[in-house]
């Protein structure tokens, strides 16, 4: 999950996202799922946006509140995995990458929270959120169980390549689908940051950095 500018620093996407993290971001994304949602205090109603996104790639009508939740979940997943890697990674480049993920995705979430507050927008998990949580839980369990050393470093880098490929796709889809101009701007600013994360993860993967100290 910095979603740049106001987002810097994010989602995911959150951004995607986020672009969807740390446990703190996950809690914020889901804590008030049943509360009323507005995307603009003057609008009086949520804008419903159609986007193809989520863990299963299923088509769903997503409101800006849904998108904000998914980007928050992505940020939380990225931060959670990176915190494990920060302690267990043995390759210095992999460890540095993990620290970058914590810094950038915490900043992304902060910007996402600021936007949500400014727009009186309550992040509301859509149906896909359960699958995202399940997938993240499985990845965290796998990383926690992996022995420290090259095997762990490779597992983390491989997971990051897959996670950022998905996050980038989701953010691009959301940016093209949402009619909320502020959310779209935040996501569009986040996309280059997520792309940079993906590029770096792929470099580590290609270089076999996980097998080196």
Question: Would you list the domain boundaries of the chain?
Answer: 5-207
Q: In angstroms, what CA-CA distances link 50 with 6, 162, 177, 211?
A: 24, 24, 6, 43
Query: pLDDT digits over 15-72, tens only?
Result: 333 333 333 434 443 433 333 333 333 333 333 343 344 433 333 489 999 999 999 9
Query: pLDDT digits over 141-181, tens only?
Result: 999 999 999 999 999 999 999 999 999 999 999 999 999 99
Query: The pTM is what?
Result: 0.70
Domain range 5-207, CATH architecture: Up-down Bundle (1.20)
pLDDT of residue 208: 77
Please list, in sequence order, all residues whose beta carbon lies within 8 angstroms of the beta carbon of residue 84, skipping any fewer than 6 positions away: 140, 143, 144, 156
pLDDT interval class at 1 (50, 70, 90): very low
């Amino acid at each position: 999950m910095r979603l740049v500018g106001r987002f810097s620093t994010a989602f995911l996407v959150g951004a995607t996202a986020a672009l969807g993290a740390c446990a703190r971001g996950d809690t914020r994304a889901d804590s008030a799922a049943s509360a009323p949602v507005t995307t603009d205090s003057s609008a009086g109603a949520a804008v419903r946006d159609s986007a193809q996104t989520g863990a299963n790639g299923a088509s769903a009508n997503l409101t800006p509140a849904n998108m904000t939740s998914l980007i928050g979940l992505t940020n939380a997943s990225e931060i959670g995995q990176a915190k494990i890697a920060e302690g267990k990674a043995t390759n210095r480049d992999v460890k540095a990458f993990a620290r970058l993920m914590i810094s950038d995705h915490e900043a992304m979430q902060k910007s996402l929270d600021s936007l949500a507050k400014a727009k009186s927008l309550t992040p509301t998990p859509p149906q896909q959120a359960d699958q995202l949580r399940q997938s993240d839980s499985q990845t965290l369990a796998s990383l926690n169980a992996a022995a420290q050393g090259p095997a762990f470093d490779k597992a983390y880098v491989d997971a990051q390549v897959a996670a950022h490929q998905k996050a980038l796709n989701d953010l691009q889809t959301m940016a093209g689908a949402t009619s909320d101009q502020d959310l779209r701007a935040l996501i569009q600013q986040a996309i280059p940051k997520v792309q940079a994360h993906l590029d770096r993860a792929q470099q580590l993967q290609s270089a076999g950095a996980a097998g080196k100290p």
